[in-house]
Structure 1
Amino acid sequence: MSNQSTSPTFRTGADAAKGGLDITISLSPEEAAALGNEASTLADWMDTVLWALALLRNGRNHRGGSEEVTPETLFTVLNDLDHRLIPRIEGIRDAAIRRHHELGGSLGDLALAMDVVKSTAQSRRNVVLAGRDRPSTWERWATDGGPQRPIDQH
């Protein structure tokens, strides 16, 4: 978490809704408006990330009727992560790389932020910038929003 935002808050034990851990992420009014209805859907997919990690680590599914991890259980995990979340995260990353470059960010700073060597950061930036006039669908989603919500183009 950066120092530019409020850290998530945690409530554990008997005080948590299910007796485990509640995590609260607060968005400013401007952030909430920018995300619109997508905030709820994205939060649900982020919940899948934590649920999947727990079931993979403990080998049990503590949601629903059976504790057994099944192919059907993993269908939800794979669909939410691979089909829905990963492309969006990649779009956010690519949009951030493009904007970093547009703002004059150095290759060294990009490498440091990505925790990679300069040549890797340069290669990743070059891939993003190769589509200079045609950002990917998910990069456009990251900057312009989903198809269900028009964006005010100031």
Structure 2
Amino acid sequence: MESLSFSYDSPKRGGVDITLSLSPEELAALGPDAQDLADWLDTAVWTLAMLRTGLNHRPTAYTDATPTKSQWHIAVRDLYHLISRIEGIRDAAVRHHQADGGSINDLVRAMDCAKSTAQSRRNKILGSSPSHWENWAEVDGGPENRPPKATPSRKTN
């Protein structure tokens, strides 16, 4: 079963509906973070369309199609929330990749960059303690009282 689907000619807005489907286990692991992340991803798409067209394609009864200071405020706020969490998720994934025997060549393909760049990025992550948002991704975020899970070694070997 695919977790991402696109429904064109959406009856809701006439464009496309993008649906992210979560399993019961994924939903249990994410808890309320699922709704926040989906909301912030939606803001990212909305903001990108405004940047590319100069128009807000989601006007309301209180706004017209010209983006307002308030809408840009929402965009900045939500994108900062999203980016910090995405960086934490990414850093945890790099740490797990290393712990599970992932090679630099694997990272080169994943990051689509030069070998030296991939190695530098990995070394930066492995050479430091997990950030607040990396801890959020693995330990601190999500439903309370979830059972502890095994995490990869934090060593930089």
State the TM-score, normalized to the length of structure 1. Answer: 0.87
Residue of structure 2 in register with 1:8 after alignment? 4
SS class of match (2:18): strand
Q: C-alpha distance in 1, partners of 2:2/2:142?
A: 29
CA shift for structure 1 position 105: 0.5
Distance 1:51-1:31 versus aligned 2 partners, 3 A rule: same
Gaps of 5+ in 2: 150-157
Q: Is the 8 A contact 2:55 2:65 kept in 1?
A: yes
Residue of structure 2 in register with 1:57 after alignment? 52
CA shift for structure 1 position 28: 1.3
SS class of match (2:44): helix
Code of the aligned partner of 1:80: D
CA shift for structure 1 position 69: 1.3
Percent identical: 51
Counting only pairs closer than 5 Å after superposition, residues 29-68 of structure 1 correspond to structure 2 as: 29-63=24-58, 64=60, 65-68=63-66
CA shift for structure 1 position 150: 3.3
Q: C-alpha distance in 1, partners of 2:94/2:84?
A: 15
Residue of structure 2 in register with 1:78 after alignment? 76
SS class of match (1:23): strand
CA shift for structure 1 position 11: 2.1
CA shift for structure 1 position 20: 2.4
Code of the aligned partner of 1:101: Q
Q: Is the 8 A contact 1:35 1:145 kept in 2?
A: no
CA shift for structure 1 position 70: 2.1
Q: C-alpha distance in 1, partners of 2:113/2:89?
A: 18
Q: Is the 8 A contact 1:145 1:151 kept in 2?
A: no
Q: Which segments of structure 1 move beyond 3 Å, counting only runs of 4 or more?
A: none
Q: Is the 8 A contact 1:144 1:151 kept in 2?
A: no
1:152 to 120, 144, 147: 147
Counting only pairs closer than 5 Å after superposition, residues 85-96 of structure 1 correspond to structure 2 as: 85-96=82-93
Residue of structure 2 in register with 1:114 after alignment? 111
Q: Is the 8 A contact 2:56 2:66 kept in 1?
A: yes
Code of the aligned partner of 1:92: I
Distance 1:136-1:148 versus aligned 2 partners, 3 A rule: same
Gaps of 5+ in 1: none
Residue of structure 2 in register with 1:124 after alignment? 121
